[in-house]
């Protein structure tokens, strides 16, 4: 049995939790109105990568199946919009490859693949989960969910003497990609550096000096800047709001006008927020689960995100919601002062 009591703040009560049941449905947590997205940002993607590693590293892809539209005669995969490379490339180039390593680059998951018997050059599978993408390791090849678009069969390494041979069923494992809104992207490439070249620095790796220098060169509002993947890679709406709250900085504040002290607070705020979220296994706003089907816990620690009208955990003022860069933005009007005039031009409705 699993009981998770969602809290308004980490200090307002006990968390009852039991980890014995590994059923993701039973671990489902708070579901706010209008929330069906789980928004995989840096901590969620990192959690997925860490959970997948022990399950798929060293395994060989023996088959790839794409869900087809309607009848089995249809040749059009439902994932066609999700596939950034032609469907036939997934079906022809992936079988025979072994998964050598997996890494996170911003919000992207990069699978390093070793081709079968030197068949071709090294290959990389890039997965961006968009808003509702999910990558899970399953014990069945069935397209169990309505929105499962791709399934890859993974066999134990060393069992294969040909890319299309058969292995005992118990040694097989299936990697499923499902995506309700189809905002995710799957790409096969030999040049991942090219495909990911536009991304900024990782917020957990960038040095304080470099962060400060980048801030000084930008004239946009901080919230917009934090969401810009060319500036820093991996931050999305949840962690932008939470980081700005921790730093006590208004989301509409001007990046270049941030003094050294406040820039340092933001730098620390981002790193603390992301690190804590990773430690908690990410945020499960709705159905987020890692590669093994476990939900995250960081939503319990959200201090402003989707807490509109609720009291600030620091000062008690009501959390406000505005729109910045077409994104819902949550902040405390008392703890995050300093850009009221600029924020006056920010719309309250989308």
How many C-alpha atoms does 52 have within 13 Å on its Cβ side? 30
Q: Decide if residue 220 touches DNA (CB under 7 A).
A: yes
Q: Quote the CA–CA distance of 138 and 172 in Å, as a whole number.
A: 10
Binding mask 77-116 for DNA (x = CB under 7 A): ----x------------------------xx---------
User: Could you tell me the smallest distance in angstroms from the CB atom of residue 129 to DNA?
Assistant: 8
Among 169, 341, 347, 348, binds DNA (CB under 7 A): 347
Which residue, 173 or 250, has its beta carbon nearer to DNA? Answer: 250
- Rounded to a whole number of angstroms, the minimum distance from the CB of residue 147 to DNA is 6
Among 14, 33, 309, 316, binds DNA (CB under 7 A): 33
Q: What angle do CA 279, 284, 285 make, to 5 degrees?
A: 140
- 111 by DSSP, 3-state: which? strand
Note whether 130 binds DNA by CB under 7 A.
yes
- For this structure, is 320 an active site residue? no
Residues 6+ apart with CB under 8 A from 67: 77, 78, 79, 143, 148, 149, 150
Report the distance separating Cα 301 and Cα 80, nearest Å: 37
Query: Is 163 among the catalytic positions?
Result: no
**Is-catalytic flag, 265?**
no
Contact of 110 with 192, CB cutoff 8 Å: yes
What is the DSSP pairing of strand 108-114 with strand 123-128?
antiparallel
Considering the candidates 53, 114, 321, 327, report the single residue annotated as catalytic. Answer: 327
Q: Which residues bind DNA (CB under 7 A)?
A: 31, 33-37, 39, 41, 81, 106-107, 128, 130-131, 146-147, 180-183, 198, 217-221, 224, 227, 229, 236-238, 324-328, 345-347, 349-350
């Amino acid at each position: 049995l699993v009981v998770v009591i969602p809290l308004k703040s980490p200090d307002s009560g006990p968390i009852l939790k039991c980890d014995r049941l590994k059923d993701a449905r039973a671990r489902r947590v708070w579901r706010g109105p209008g929330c069906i997205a789980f928004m995989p940002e840096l901590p969620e993607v990192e959690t997925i990568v860490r959970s997948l590693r022990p399950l798929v590293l060293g395994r060989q892809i023996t088959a790839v199946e794409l869900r087809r539209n309607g009848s089995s005669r249809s040749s059009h995969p439902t994932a066609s919009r999700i596939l950034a490379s032609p469907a036939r490339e997934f079906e022809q180039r992936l079988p025979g490859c072994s998964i050598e390593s997996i890494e996170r680059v911003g919000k992207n998951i990069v699978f390093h693949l070793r081709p079968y018997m030197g068949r071709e050059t090294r290959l990389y599978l890039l997965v961006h989960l968009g808003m509702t993408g999910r990558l899970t390791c399953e014990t069945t090849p069935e397209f169990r969910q309505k929105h499962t678009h791709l399934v890859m069969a993974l066999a134990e390494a060393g069992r294969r003497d040909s890319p299309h041979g058969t292995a005992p069923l118990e040694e097989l494992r299936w990697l499923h990609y499902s995506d309700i809104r189809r905002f995710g992207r799957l790409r096969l490439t030999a040049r991942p550096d090219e495909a990911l070249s536009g991304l900024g620095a990782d917020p957990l790796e960038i040095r304080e000096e470099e962060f400060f220098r980048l801030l000084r060169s930008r004239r946009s509002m901080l919230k917009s800047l934090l969401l810009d993947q060319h500036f820093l890679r991996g931050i999305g709406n949840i962690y932008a709001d939470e980081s700005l709250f921790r730093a006590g900085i208004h989301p509409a504040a001007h990046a270049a006008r941030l003094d050294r002290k406040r820039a340092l607070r933001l730098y620390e705020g981002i790193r603390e927020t992301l690190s804590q979220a990773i430690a908690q296994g990410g945020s499960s706003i709705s159905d987020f689960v890692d590669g093994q089907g476990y939900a995250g816990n960081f939503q319990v620690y959200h201090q402003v995100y989707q807490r509109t009208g609720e009291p600030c955990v620091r000062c008690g003022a009501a959390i406000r919601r505005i729109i910045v860069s077409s994104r819902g933005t949550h902040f405390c009007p008392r703890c995050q002062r300093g850009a009221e005039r600029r924020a006056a031009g920010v719309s309250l409705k989308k």
